[in-house]
Structure 1
Amino acid sequence: MDSLLSNLKISVPEKIYVKDPESSDLGRRIVEHSILLINDIGFDSFTFKKLGALIGSNESSIYRYFESKHKLLLYLSSWYWAWIEYQLVFETHSLEATHKIEKAIEIVTRTIKEDSKFSHINEVVLNKIMVNENSKSFLTKEVDQENKDGYFIIYKRIVHRLRDMIIAIKPNYKFPSSLASTILEGSLHQHFLKDHFISITDCNATLSPTLFMKNLVLNTLKS
């Protein structure tokens, strides 16, 4: 898979950004350091002014790439899910149905390791942002219009891939989409609980969200 992905360019819906940050050194630095800064101070405290000071650039130059910090968060979220989707496609394509869903659950729920193919993006830190901040990308009044505009197309595509894997195992299961979306959102939530509310989750250093999700899904499909 490494050789196939060596020249991979992650594609994000064009409406999310004003100018493709992958098209320039400044754009890549905006993405790189926004990830680090959001992880450091949180999305609520994050501003383009603070980011500009960090990268030594005018605040106005950041607006040439993203019209708001919300759009920047949407970009980071979309990039993350596209990166996950490529792994999902390449690592499950030759597996039979049960092994395919097991591997898929592992991919979308596992602890992230940094991918050297994208030197300006720290996937480990981006994963922490997804766990802590991702819901802020869609819990907004504008979510319906942004959905119509295709901002969440990659995320939904992963849910549909998981849904189809579930149907392949149990065609008469009544809730394949609900179970598929639960795998994605539930794993992020369990990672959050493991880090912050340990008393209301069984996930810990030895019992991972991956093990929990595999147990939940496979037992559900057996019943």
Structure 2
Amino acid sequence: MAVAIKMKLNEKLYLRDPQETKLGRNIIQHSIMMIDAMGFEDFTFKKLAERIESTEASIYRYFENKHRLLLFLLSWYWEWVKYCIDLKILNIEDPARRLKIALETLVEAAHRDDPNTDHVNEAVLHRIVIAESAKGYYTKQVDEENRQGLFLTYKALCRTIQAIIEEINPQFPYPRALSSTLLEMAKSHVYFSEHLPSLTDISFKSGNSEEQVQRLLIDFAFGLLKSDQFAKQTENGQSNTL
């Protein structure tokens, strides 16, 4: 039986928290399915109101516009992924093991619908994250929305990965860049494999793209961390690697 899991998100994302009412959860559930099916450009509150047999006015009581709804969905997804990672690495002391688990979970959580969130299909929402997330922050209002804290969940997930990277190699000069790059790679290479295959080494047709992306992230992360430590040790006249 599904249980109610509520993600704590910035209150400025919405006018009324849709997670707290049946209508609100209905808005979230069907907006995910509709944006996935038709794309964000063609999605409208009018079409959503018709789908859920309600009114546009009722939807506007929850969200100022469809851009804020998209930011809410993206924030919910990243908060969910962070929740999954935090659970899995909770009692793991070895930072290298934690990073491997975190990267595996980053991909794994994206490909499965969790039955404990009955109003959100995570696998479908992941497709929206891949296809539409850039529209959330590549906008003219990004600086103002950033000041309002509308990207805090994505930043928090980045900081989780960043902190582990810094434990593994405290001297690594680019922990934030590596963290955000890994998150972007996790979604972009899935998209590339399906639509622009010449841009990636991940093979969508092979049927095991999830495992391939996990391997890509792990090899990329640890390869950089090892090579950086090796370079610093070489400078100091040492020869050991991680």
Q: TM-score, normalised by structure 2?
A: 0.87
Q: Once structures 1 and 2 are overlaid, which stretch shifts more, 195-204 or 163-172?
A: 195-204
1:37 to 23, 34, 39: 34
1:103 and 1:120 mapped to 2: Cα distance? Answer: 27
* Higher Cα Rg, which structure: 2
How many equivalent residue pairs?
Answer: 219
Indicate the residue corresponding to 1:213 in structure 2. 217
Corresponding position of 1:138:
137
Structure 2 unaligned segments of length 5 or more: list them.
228-242
- Is 2:132 the counterpart of 1:128? no
1:156 corresponding residue in structure 2 = 155
Q: Which runs of 4+ in 1 moved over 6 A?
A: none
The answer to whether the aligner puts 1:10 opposite 2:7 as a matched pair is: yes
Q: Which amino acid aligns with 1:35?
A: I
Match of 1:108 in 2: 106
In structure 1, distance between residues paired with 2:123 and 2:133: 14
- Distance in 1 between the 2:132 and 2:104 partners? 21
Instruction: Decide whether the 8 Å contact of 1:109 with 1:184 is kept in 2.
Output: no
- State the match for 1:222 in structure 2: 226
Counterpart for residue 49 of structure 1: 46
Identity across aligned pairs (percent)? 37
Q: State the Cα distance separating 1:210 from its structure 2 match.
A: 1.3
Which residue identity does 1:211 align to in structure 2?
R
Residue identity in the other structure for 2:98: K
Task: State the partner residue of 1:27.
Answer: 24
Write the distance in 2 (CA, Å) between the matches of 1:29 and 1:101.
36
**Cα deviation digits, residues 177-205 of structure 1 (max 9, x gap):** 00000011111111110111112211123
Q: Say whether the 8 Å CA contact 1:38–1:129 is kept in structure 2.
A: yes
* Aligned equivalent of 2:174: 175
Supply the distance in 2 between the matched residues of 1:8 and 1:69 (Cα, whole angstroms): 23
Given that residues 113 and 123 in structure 2 are in contact (C-alpha distance below 8 angstroms), is that contact kept between their aligned partners in structure 1?
yes
Mapped partners of 2:172, 2:85: distance in 1: 22
Match runs of 1:46-85 below 5 Å: 46-85=43-82
**TM-score using structure 1 length:** 0.95
* RMSD after superposition: 1.4
Letter in 2 for 1:174: P
Question: Counterparts of 2:85 and 2:58 in 1: how far apart (Å)?
Answer: 35
For 1:84 and 1:100, the matched residues in 2 are separated by 15
**What runs of 5+ residues in structure 1 fail to find an aligned partner?**
none
